[in-house]
Structure 1
């Protein structure tokens, strides 16, 4: 029995993988074709349909503005009532999972991709990633960057221009470079 993982399996699990693999190159090409259609469509229902084809999973109520950029799309999972404003970038070599009722302001960048720090390893052409998870009711401010391996809890607000280099729990406002907690959010019970 052959238990060798494919490059896609390695990639999705956050292991070192070869991005020049034929299956991965084909996946990026297919994603770019869908993205081209998405970014050039004036029809919001067509864009929604393309997003549902492109992303790994979505809620029913989603809305994304063009322009959108992804690596593969199939590693992106968004919940119900998801909104992304203009210029969203998802480098989704590892899963990017976003809960329900999430909003991304313009030019938000979610990077699950990374590279080895050691120059010999980096020059080998291999790379790896770390998943990103964002909880329910998140609001990510304009131009914010979420780096590989970050988990954000529920009800998190990320200030515009923040660079989020580490994980944070629920019910906080974070901002800055690197991002830090600037305020706790008192949550009203329903």
Structure 2
């Protein structure tokens, strides 16, 4: 495990939260993304998939990640077939983030899969994975918090803040997000 014990490393005093190996991997990843992907034209999704896979991401066929997206650690990312990470999205995946098939993470959305133990005087980092099901939509500038599960076809509206689980086919909005209606799909 690359997560370190805060009581030993004292991150509040400048110590590390992750192992040296993890930090070096992220340094190499950041340089690779910046040099090889960050400024690539939008249609080069295949190239960006290749680079992400080289750093351990699990990507389904046809998944797409825009060059302006920021991913903390590709090996903690799983995207289903035809999933999309939009322009400027932030995938803060210290903990694992799994995104289902045909799910859209819109522009500048933020997914955060970690928090801190508020009762710990050393402020221990806690990894809390996020699972987003198939056919979901996280709209522009929305925030999905640590440990959240969005069940299939759930929607989080623009700038919504989802801190608890979202039911299948539920549409959520607000800060904190609440369920406002049922998503009804037309026959297609």
Distance, in Å, in 2 between the alignment partners of 1:97 and 1:157 is 16
Distance, in Å, in 1 between the alignment partners of 2:120 and 2:81 is 42
SS at match of 1:133: strand
Distance 1:180 1:164, change over 3 A: same
SS at match of 1:121: coil
- Indicate the residue corresponding to 2:47 in structure 1: 46
- Indicate the residue corresponding to 1:71 in structure 2: 72
Matches within 5 A, 1:132-147: 132-147=130-145
Alignment: residue pair count = 175
- Indicate the residue corresponding to 1:56 in structure 2: 57
SS at match of 2:59: coil
- Indicate the residue corresponding to 1:121 in structure 2: 122
By how many angstroms is 1:8 displaced? 5.0
Distance 1:137 1:55, change over 3 A: farther
**1:137-188 C-alpha deviation (Å, 9 max, x unpaired):** 0111000000000000001111000000101120111110001100112346
SS at match of 2:111: strand
SS at match of 1:39: coil
Q: Does 43-52 or 149-158 show the bigger shift?
A: 43-52
Which residues of structure 1 form unaligned runs of 5+? 1-5, 11-17
TM-score, normalising length: structure 1: 0.83
SS at match of 1:148: coil
Residue 2 of structure 2 is aligned to residue 7 of structure 1: yes
TM-score, normalising length: structure 2: 0.84
By how many angstroms is 1:53 displaced? 2.5
Q: Does 146-155 or 43-52 show the bigger shift?
A: 43-52
By how many angstroms is 1:7 displaced? 2.6
CA contact (8 A) 1:31 1:70 kept: no
Q: CA RMSD in A?
A: 2.1
Residue 77 of structure 2 is aligned to residue 82 of structure 1: no
**1:22-47 C-alpha deviation (Å, 9 max, x unpaired):** 11111211221232122122360322
- Indicate the residue corresponding to 2:110 in structure 1: 109
Which residues of structure 2 form unaligned runs of 5+? 6-15
- Indicate the residue corresponding to 1:131 in structure 2: 129
Distance, in Å, in 1 between the alignment partners of 2:132 and 2:153 is 9
Q: Any runs of at least 4 consecutive aligned residues in structure 1 with deviations exceeding 3 A, and if so which? A: 187-190
Distance, in Å, in 2 between the alignment partners of 1:48 and 1:181 is 34
Higher relative contact order (CA 8 A, sep 6+): 1
CA contact (8 A) 2:3 2:18 kept: no
Residue 178 of structure 2 is aligned to residue 155 of structure 1: no
